[in-house]
């Protein structure tokens, strides 16, 4: 019988996709990591049982995470900091910008980085780029220690899972420190989990409101990520409000002038469209009062346990407790 990977997104809502083959797996100090071949998405990277990126559409996520902040920078960023991003795709997109002189990427899990180097050949060029300074450590520690400031800070972190290494990095105290590490006109961007009609309330909405307490101009934006079965949210924060608005024409002009090669997904029109939020979402954000702190973070309840624990020799009609991915604010 077929094997299916099963995720319970919430009570009463189950997501499953067909597994063709487990290509490789490893257990690091922090996380269970699997690379698999799947029927709908091709090769996929799964961490702690949660789909992280797929051969089909990872470029949409990474172009949306990286390029809006990089292109909004008035003169083209020279120094960029990436928190997380162990698979290398975020660094790959950053290093396409010809203005970049140095990209510091800090990921806490060296085993995951080595695993991705071995199994994700599309990022080999980025890992070999002499402009990339790869550090295995806590990104908060490295950013605090940094003596030189950055033009763009990109937080490509795991979702804030209970007991995981990242939940504190979505809090006001951390964002205040990030702001102090930006050059004048600097920009911070973070992934902020699901942006759909229900899931936006868990992380995206409070992260946006938290960043508004720190930066003078902040915007949420989103894009549909097919393999995530939802809209996905990002928040961009500007130290200079004058960088917060870029026209369609100017985006296209900057892409042509600054970026090596052709983007698959993002151009001026799609860039602008990502910031067009529904009336319902805008009202929800306006009503948000939560400010995340280390004493009051946004967390998802639990990790899942990896492919070997939640695949089924079945038609995906059953699921185990290990596959549940309940989320709370």
Q: Which residues pair with 218 in a beta bridge?
A: 237
- 109 three-class SS: coil
The 3-state DSSP class for residue 319 equals coil
Please, are residues 33 and 152 in contact by the beta-carbon 8 Å criterion? no
Cα-to-chain-centroid distance, residue 238: 18
Return the structure tokens found at 268: 């001026």
Q: Is 156 a catalytic residue?
A: yes
The whole-angstrom separation of Cα 90 and Cα 293 is: 26
Give 249's strand partners.
Answer: none
Token output for 20:
């063709």
Question: What is the distance between the alpha carbons of residues 55 and 45, in angstroms, rounded to a whole number?
Answer: 9
Report yes or no: 248 and 217 within 8 Å, Cβ to Cβ.
no
- In the beta sheet, which residues pair with residue 107? 136
Rounded Cα–Cα distance for residues 8 and 167 (Å): 21
Instruction: Please tell me whether residue 104 adopts helix, strand or coil conformation.
Output: strand
Phi, psi (5° rounding) for residue 278?
Answer: -65, 160
> Please, is 229 exposed, middle or buried when counting C-beta atoms within 10 Å of its C-beta (0-12, 13-18, 19+)?
middle
Catalytic residue among 156, 158, 230, 267: 156
Parallel/antiparallel/unpaired status of strands 13-27 and 3-10: antiparallel
Coil, strand or helix: which one is 275?
Answer: coil
Q: What are the residue numbers of the active site?
A: 156
């Amino acid at each position: 019988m077929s094997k299916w990977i099963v995720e319970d997104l919430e009570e009463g809502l189950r997501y499953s996709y067909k597994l063709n083959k487990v290509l490789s797996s490893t257990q690091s100090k922090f996380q269970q990591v699997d690379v698999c071949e799947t029927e709908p998405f091709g090769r996929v990277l799964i961490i702690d049982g949660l789909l992280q990126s797929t051969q089909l559409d990872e470029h949409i996520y990474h172009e949306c995470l990286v390029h809006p902040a990089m292109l909004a920078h008035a003169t083209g960023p020279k120094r960029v900091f990436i928190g997380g991003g162990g698979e290398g795709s975020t660094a790959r997109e950053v290093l396409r910008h010809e203005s970049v002189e140095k990209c510091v990427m800090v990921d806490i899990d060296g085993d995951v980085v080595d695993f991705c180097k071995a199994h994700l050949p599309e990022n080999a060029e980025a890992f070999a780029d002499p402009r990339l300074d790869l550090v295995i450590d806590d990104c908060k520690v490295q950013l605090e220690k940094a003596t030189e400031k950055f033009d763009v800070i990109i937080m490509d972190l795991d979702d804030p899972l209970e007991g995981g290494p990242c939940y504190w990095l979505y809090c006001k105290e951390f964002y205040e420190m990030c702001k102090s590490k930006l050059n004048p006109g600097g920009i911070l961007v973070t992934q902020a989990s699901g942006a759909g009609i229900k899931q936006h309330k868990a992380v995206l909405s409070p992260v946006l409101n938290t960043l508004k307490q720190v930066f003078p101009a902040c915007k949420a934006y989103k894009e549909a990520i097919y393999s995530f079965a939802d809209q996905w949210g990002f928040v961009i924060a500007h130290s200079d409000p004058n960088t917060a608005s870029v026209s369609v024409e100017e985006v296209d002009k900057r892409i042509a002038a600054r970026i090596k090669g052709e983007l698959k997904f993002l151009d001026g029109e799609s860039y602008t469209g990502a910031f067009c939020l529904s009336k319902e979402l805008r009202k929800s954000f306006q009503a948000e009062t939560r400010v995340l702190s280390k004493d009051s973070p946004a967390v998802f309840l639990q990790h899942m346990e990896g492919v070997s624990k939640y695949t089924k020799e079945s038609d995906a009609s059953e699921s185990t407790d290990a596959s549940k991915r309940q989320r709370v604010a």
